[in-house]
Amino acid sequence: MDLSKKHNIHFTGNPQAGKTLVFGHGFGVDQQSFSQIVPAFEHDYRIILYDNAGGGQSDLSSYSYERYETLEGYVTDLTAIMALAQGTPATFIGHSVSGMIGMMAANRQPHLFDKLVLIGSSPRYLDDAPASYTGGFDEAALQALFDAMQTNYEAWVIGFSPLAMRNEDRPELAEQFARSLQALRPDIALAVARAIFFLDHRMELPRVTRPTLIIQTANDIVVPAVVSEYMEQHIPGSKRIKINAQGHFPQISAPGEIITALRSFV
């Protein structure tokens, strides 16, 4: 399978630049979610954009329930994509689950990564009783989420989109996210959601050797602030910043905040 076709890979930016930025999107969106961020870096960096298997304009024929039952399939994919940086120092900017995918890939192939940026990422979404770890969800909440997706996907999308996006004063943002979710095949969306929400990669955090920036927003229904605090405590030498943004998709709702944060780090 042609890697470029499989992941709808796009190269932009300055081909002569000595550094590369690779952007990885989260669940329910695709590479277009970074469209307001990329122009700020096109002059000084080579930029690689791609769609995760099962999402965006990726080749759906390459999606396999078995391969993507855990994040390992995505990690293997990302390792191949990072190699396209052709030896230039590459900073990986991962939103949501792609932050974890990037961290895991960097732990396995550190030579491919220069720095890591984790936007709204979590090593585990499930709470760990008794109160030793707060991820933001208990098993009943997750089962209700999966049941809702399975029973009436359209209704779930309409309910979930504004909760995840926040920014109630700009309903068009939630509508945009809803359209993105509706474009997913419901069976794939459910399978991907299961792979994400049942993950536990806390053991990967202390192994990180690359400079890491953790970006946290306010009122993120998916990743509460306590999770980013936990990550900062467990990723050696990491830096956590809280930005002036609401919800789980700051690259869409507050691109200026993300650009400022990235510029201070990359």
Choose the catalytic residue: 7, 25, 95, 248.
Answer: 248
Active site residue 43: no
Strand (E) or helix (H) holding 227 = helix 225-234
CA separation for the pair 156, 147 (Å, rounded): 9
CB neighbour burial string for 196-218, b if at least 16 within 10 angstroms, e if fewer: bbebebbebbeebebbbbbbbbe
Task: Give the whole-angstrom CA distance, residue 189 versus residue 103.
Answer: 23
Q: Which amino acid is at 200?
A: D
Half-sphere exposure (CA, 13 Å, Cβ side) for 141?
A: 11
Q: Which of the following is catalytic: 7, 122, 220, 228?
A: 220
Q: Identify the CA nearest to 178 among candidates 192, 193, 160.
A: 160
Distances (CA, A) of 12 to 2, 45, 115: 19, 9, 19
Q: Are 210 and 236 in contact (CB under 8 A)?
A: no
- Is residue 147 annotated as part of the catalytic site, yes or no? no
Q: Name the residue among 220, 208, 228 with its Cα closest to residue 253.
A: 220
Annotated catalytic residue, options 96, 98, 121, 253? 96
Question: Does the annotation count 77 as an active-site position?
Answer: no
Nearest Cα residue to 165 out of 229, 89, 254: 254
Q: What is the 3-state secondary structure (H, E, C) of 53-113?
A: CCCCCCCHHHCCCCCCCCCHHHHHHHHHHHHHHCCCCEEEEEECHHHHHHHHHHHHCHHHC
Q: Which residues are catalytic?
A: 96, 220, 248
